[in-house]
Each structure stands twice: as C-alpha cells, then as structure tokens.
Structure 1
C-alpha cells in the first residue's frame, strides 16, 4: 500500500521524476498535483486540495469515478466468478458484443482489446486481412503505435503502408479514385467540432462507390458524439468502427465492431492477446450500457455540457479574450489566439480548483450537475480574468488562419487547398504509385 503522508505534490513529482515520469508527457503538460482519490468528477490530491476534472480523464470516464453501478459490477464479478479464464470466450464478452451490435448500426460482430491504440491497430490488420490489400488511407490521431507516427501531415509512409490525407477532401478523392483497387480501408477519426456529419457521410459514400472499406475511429466519439456515436447518431455508414474511452467507464477495454465479413478475418489478421479475455472490464461495460439504456443520461450530460460550453464562451467574450468555441456538448473545443495563452488560462483556473484540458477539448461526465458546471465556470472566469489583465492580444477575433493552425497542430487537419497542400497531394500520389508494397495483409497466426 502506498502512502503520501507528510509529502507535498512537488515532493512527489520530484520523486516520480527520478523513477518513472517522462519530463514532457507526465510533468510538462500536466498541472502540478499528485492525486490520491477521485469520486464523481472530483479529485483530491495528496495535500487535500480538491479539483474538478473537466477532462473526463482524457475522455476515459463517462459516468465519473466510483460510480456505484460500475463498482458493484466489477467487485461482484471478481468475487463471484473470477478475473480471467483459460478460454477467450466468456458470458460477459458474448453479452457485451450483443449489446454493442444492437446499439451501433455498423455492428454485426465485435472483437475486443484493451486500449484505443490496440483497437485501431487491430482495425487496420482486419481490413488488410479481409481485403488482401495493403494501402491504408487515414486522417486524425489513432494512437501511439508505429504505423501511425506521421498523422500530422499529408503524405505516404512506406514503412507502414499508410497515407494521410489530413481531412482534405481533394486529397481524399484523388487518392481513392486513383488507388481504389489497392486500398484496404479509409480510416478517419471524427473531429466533430470541425467537420459535421455530412462530411463523414460524403467520405463514406465515396468509399462505397469505389469498393473501399470505410472505417471510423470512434475511440472517443462512440459515447460522446451522441448515444450511438457518429455511426448511429450522425447516421454515417461504416464498415468498421473502433471504440474505447468511456466504454467501461475508465477500465481498460476497447472494441472493433463492424461487418461480419471483416471481423471474420480475425484469424487471418493474426490478432491475439492474453488480456483480451479479462472479464471485469466487460462487466463494467455492461453496467455502463444499462445506465445509458433509456437515453436520459445522455440528454442530461448534453445539457450540462452545453451550459459549460456556452458559459466559457461568454466568459472569454466578457474578459476580452478572442475565442472560438464549438463542437458537441460532451466534447467541445475552445480555440484562443495561441497554445501558450490556452495553457496560461487553464493553469490559472487550476489554482481555483478546476482541471481543464489545456489543449482545448473539454469533456463532462454523468457526474456533472449544475453545481459542477458553476464551479468550473467560476474557476475558469477567475483564471481568464487574471490572464486577460496581463496579456495583450494582437487579434480581435479568431479567424480562419488561427483555426487552420489549431487544426493542423491538433489533428493534422488541412482545411484549404493552398499551394503547400496541393504539392503534398501530388507528392503523395507519386510516392504511392512508385512504392514497392511490403506490408503483409495476412501476418503469422497469433498465440496466447
């Protein structure tokens, strides 16, 4: 058992720095606190300070920490049944797969993993094995694995067989039309603050016309865009969707869901893993499905998110900080004149008890009520007023150039067909046309 008695946040950060922490990922991009407990959307650090989590633990929490239904489901399952079995099949796995297929229009069959990055990697393996093709077209962030290191720019990576089109429709249509017979799938992470459902429907329809699989990375949006994700709520047809965050309310679980003919390539894709059979997270996910079943919680969360979103927009306007605020109420973006200014505002708000996502994407949980929204807005206003009083702004509004910069830096979005983008498209086409395919669509069989 760990203890933090008598230790300050800074002392423990230094202790972590010596033995485990990455300087940028764990320290430089986080606010200075070591948390020892969380309940609902409130966190308590080792010094006894309470903060409201406005990030939903980077989207992992949907209902909030220590939710009684989820806690009961996990503890009951461990006590009464066990943790992990020799067989890869269990009753919770079967029941959860059935529930997800009922919830999402794309669902015919489901396979499970442990993280979003694992699910997206499984998805491209499945697409390649099902089609016998190698080339993957993609936009957006799909995790930290090697196949996906160049997502911030239009181009082709010969090492992974992946070409990024940066959400640019000119690039997308050119690449699909030219290489349709070689494309295993088009894989897009929805950025709903930037592209509406009609955009994704257009991509899906174009893929269908050219006989190409269309895949949605709904690791975050599956439970936050709406009750049925972009696939269902947005009515965007997809052959494959991936999901994870919020699915088991913070417990490690992910899924790849889609057409049976693609999921049935599971063996040929060489996918395996011992901990894909761990059952308590599946019990947690079933509890989440029960809690969301009648739709009232999603409606309430969206109301709370809209109150927060509108309040933040109004506060920034009242203190004179130029801003653009948009997106679905449960996962909206806030864009201010610079990334540095964004950090300063949220760092100042942290001192008043609210932990916002400094990159700008804020998320609520079912543990949010009006009191939580009021607390978040109070802290945000204090932080914004402090920063506004000491900062000069060179712009009076957030124009296209700043939005384009944010999109490019956050998810590799290329929002217009400027000379640089058009040159990148031509270079990508050339690289793909001249490539020597080297990625096996059917890897060696998995074990374990």
Structure 2
C-alpha cells in the first residue's frame, strides 16, 4: 500500500469486509500530553524510569501518566481504564491498593516514617527474610536494585581481593555494570576494563572468561529463558573451584518465581543474592543477603550504609507482603494465571499460522516476541491495538495476585481481535502505515554479544 500513514483509514473501502479493522477509537490522552509538555526540558528523557517513558510506548496513542490503581486495574490522568500487565515494571506483586499492605503502611504512618535510631521492623523483616530465602545468613536493606547489586560487587571485590566482574543480565545504572552497554558515557575506561559479559546457559563462556582476578560472577538466574540442565549447578561449582563469588540478581525472580526466589526454585544457593521489586508490593526496598563471612565485611571494611535503609513504611509493607506471599501461596497463583495467558497466546498464534510471534518465559512473567525485519513495529501495532481494547501492554505478562479469571479472559479476547490485524498487516506489508504514532524504541541499541574475554593483568 503506497498511502502515507495519515491517509490510512480503517474505513477505506479496501478494509470493508476484507481485512481485520483497527480499533474505531483510541484513548483520549489530552491530559497526558499536557503533562508531558510541562516535563519537556525539565525532566531528562521526560521520565524517572526508562521502561515507563514514552520511548517504550506508541507515541500519540499510549497514555503517559497513570493516576491510580486498584487490584490489577489502572486509570490514567484522562480517566481511561486498563488491565495492567506491566505492574509498575515489576514491584506490584499482590495488586494495587492491596488491603493488607495498605493497612500495614497506614498503621506505621501513624507512628512515623524515619527515626533517629533504628526501628524494630529492621530486625523483624530481616528475620523473616532469613526464614524464607535460602542462604540468607545476614541481611542488609537499601532502596533500589542497583544499590544492592553494586554493594554485592564491592563485597565480592573486598572478600576476594580481586577486581574483575562477569555478568549476564541487567543489573542497574552504576558504573561497574552500565559500562558494558552503549550508554556508558561518563564512565572511566579503567572501570570499563573490569566488567565483562558471558552468554547465559553457556558455561564455556564463563570458564573461558574466569581468571585469577575475577571477583564474582553475577547474573539473573533466569529471565525468560530457563536455565539449561546443570547450568546453574555448573556455575556454582565453577565459581567455588576458581575462587570467585556467585551472585544472583533476583530482582525479577525473588518472591515471584517462588517465595525464596530462584535459589529455592532451582536448588542452587549463591554466595550473595539481591532482591527488590516484588518484596514490598510497590514500596521502595531492596535487600542484600548471603553468606555471613562475606556479609560481615559490611560491619567495618566495606561501607554500605544509607539514611533510608531502615525507613519504616517500606519495611512494614515488606513484612505484610512477604507474609501474604507465604500464607496465600502467591507464586503458585501467579504461575497459574500467567500460564493461561502464555498458552492462550500461543494457541491463537498457531491457529492463525503466525510463526513469527510467540510467547515465552516463566509462567509468572512471560514475553511476547516477534521475528522478521520489523519486530519493533510489529510489537508497536499490537501494543496500539491492545491499548484500544483496555489493556496496558508492553510486550510482557507480568502477573500479580489480583489478576482475576475475568481479567485473563478479557486479555485473551483482545488478542483474538488483535492478532488477525497483525497477521493481515504482515501479509500486506503495511505494518508502519497502521500505526497512529511513532513506534517503540529499544532501551539499548546494543543488547547482546557483549562477551569479551578479560584482558590479562599487566
């Protein structure tokens, strides 16, 4: 089709009865756009969290600001209602405005937030974490995932007397990690020469990269690809044999894949493990745990203290959240509901003979992938049409305890309408013409093949 995007119209005669139609209307985002205009030139990139920013959403169609949430539903500033499959980019494990957590926060708020001395919740939540997380002999709290992964790296360097780090996954914004991406401006070359990556599920790349100056191997134990048989066990043995610490970044797996995270699920205990996101149902808290002989370095030799580490609202939320996850078998429910979406999507795609799209990953958090020359445009078209059908969709199924059977059914009903539109656009070669705005962008232009064998020590 040779028409411009502006000329493409769902009411064209060619559409009538011969092709699946686009949505008759899209969300009114007038207030979202006005707010974003105010942010222009004031907030870098317009957002505090890149995954929430307009670059990850079809501009001109997607809302930019959410005003409130309840259960698995959210409402934007223009009043549009959506089933949320993003869940705050991970932290909402139970649901928005979840009563048990909100009651705990409100009760603590009436007593105070941050104090001049330590608060009992620091002990109570640490004991609870030690109870449910394998290998959690000591516990330190902070605020963000990047805090605790960076603290883990510092501890590993102090404990081993070594400098280099091997990583696989996303680990935050600090120098030691972001040096391996294409957003590494401002990081000294000396820091860049100390971090290297390896291929997930490929023990040979780890063995090849490990040397006598490797302090730790840090990885997300699983993201969407499951660990191959023996991979995590092999990492454990390899690190032990070569004198490097094994660190699990459990931001996504902790308290979601299982109560005790990937260590519980896969039966492999790391030397250090890092948690955040799901542990406090939206309140800012991160946790570093691990071996006592390593963690004790935080008492004197390694400085990792923060003013807000003992902030009581987040600790109250974490205590209530962990207890709900434990007592209500939340991980099993997340897996059950997520499996329905994953299997339902794949059933629809197979029935429509669409081999270029599939849903893969964990039951509790899966990803919809697209292959071909324009995968981001394909994703954008699906996102645009899911938004029009009341689903806040960023390409993932991030489940929370509040996702009901009716929510799952509604999402699958939306896919039943949207996938034929995608198939028709692919077959006609007019994907971009069906977008009502600019397509989504990748977070990193360079997203794989980072592995570089560490340079020998001079």
- Per the normalisation by structure 2, the TM-score is 0.81
| Structure-1 residue corresponding to 2:427 | 392
Residue 172 (structure 1) aligned to one of 206, 210, 223? 206
State the alpha-carbon separation in 2 of the partners of residues 311 and 84 from structure 1. Answer: 46
| Structure-2 residue corresponding to 1:70 | 101
1:208 pairs with 2:240: yes
Residue 292 (structure 2) aligned to one of 240, 247, 260? 260
| Structure-1 residue corresponding to 2:362 | 328
| Structure-1 residue corresponding to 2:326 | 293
State the alpha-carbon separation in 1 of the partners of residues 444 and 358 from structure 2. Answer: 16
1:346: Cα distance to partner?
1.7
| Structure-2 residue corresponding to 1:401 | none
CA contact (8 A) 1:84 1:278 kept: yes
Residue 82 (structure 1) aligned to one of 112, 115, 118? 112
| Structure-2 residue corresponding to 1:374 | 409
Return closer, same or farther for 1:269/1:22 CA change in 2, 3 Å cut-off. Answer: same
CA contact (8 A) 2:109 2:313 kept: yes
CA contact (8 A) 2:54 2:64 kept: no
| Matched ranges for 1:28-427 at <5 A | 28-30=55-57, 31-79=62-110, 81-87=111-117, 89-151=118-180, 158-160=190-192, 161-167=194-200, 168-176=202-210, 179=211, 181-196=212-227, 198-266=230-298, 267-294=300-327, 296-321=329-354, 322-337=356-371, 338-357=375-394, 360-392=395-427, 412-414=447-449, 425=452
**1:239-286 deviations in Å (ceiling 9; x for gaps):** 000000111001000000100111111132221211112111011000
State the alpha-carbon separation in 2 of the partners of residues 293 and 331 from structure 1. Answer: 19
Q: Which deviates further from its counterpart, 373-382 or 55-64?
A: 373-382
CA contact (8 A) 1:152 1:409 kept: yes
Would you identify which runs of 4 or more consecutive aligned residues in structure 1 move more than 3 Å? 150-153, 407-414
Residue 12 (structure 1) aligned to one of 32, 35, 43? 35
State the alpha-carbon separation in 1 of the partners of residues 84 and 45 from structure 2. Answer: 22
The alignment partner of 2:334 has SS state of helix
CA contact (8 A) 1:201 1:237 kept: no
1:206: Cα distance to partner?
1.3
The alignment partner of 1:326 has SS state of strand
1:295: Cα distance to partner?
5.1
1:192: Cα distance to partner?
4.1
Residue 27 (structure 1) aligned to one of 42, 54, 58? 54
State the alpha-carbon separation in 2 of the partners of residues 185 and 110 from structure 1. Answer: 19
1:393: Cα distance to partner?
8.6
The alignment partner of 1:301 has SS state of helix
Return closer, same or farther for 1:385/1:331 CA change in 2, 3 Å cut-off. Answer: same
The alignment partner of 1:144 has SS state of coil
The alignment partner of 2:342 has SS state of helix
State the alpha-carbon separation in 2 of the partners of residues 262 and 35 from structure 1. Answer: 42
CA contact (8 A) 1:151 1:412 kept: no
CA contact (8 A) 1:186 1:215 kept: yes
Return closer, same or farther for 1:408/1:15 CA change in 2, 3 Å cut-off. Answer: closer
CA contact (8 A) 2:359 2:369 kept: yes
State the alpha-carbon separation in 2 of the partners of residues 411 and 109 from structure 1. Answer: 36
**1:356-377 deviations in Å (ceiling 9; x for gaps):** 12xx332110011101111222
State the alpha-carbon separation in 2 of the partners of residues 15 and 210 from structure 1. Answer: 54
CA contact (8 A) 2:275 2:288 kept: yes
State the alpha-carbon separation in 2 of the partners of residues 393 and 91 from structure 1. Answer: 63
**1:79-125 deviations in Å (ceiling 9; x for gaps):** 0x3111122x3211111111111111111001011011111111111
State the alpha-carbon separation in 2 of the partners of residues 320 and 409 from structure 1. Answer: 31
The alignment partner of 1:265 has SS state of helix
State the alpha-carbon separation in 2 of the partners of residues 70 and 312 from structure 1. Answer: 32
The alignment partner of 2:309 has SS state of helix
CA RMSD of aligned residues (A): 2.6
Return closer, same or farther for 1:204/1:295 CA change in 2, 3 Å cut-off. Answer: farther
The alignment partner of 2:277 has SS state of coil
Return closer, same or farther for 1:411/1:211 CA change in 2, 3 Å cut-off. Answer: farther
1:132: Cα distance to partner?
2.2
1:387: Cα distance to partner?
2.3
Return closer, same or farther for 1:212/1:131 CA change in 2, 3 Å cut-off. Answer: same
State the alpha-carbon separation in 2 of the partners of residues 285 and 393 from structure 1. Answer: 50
The alignment partner of 1:158 has SS state of helix
Structure 2 unaligned residues grouped into runs of 5+: 1-28, 183-187, 430-441
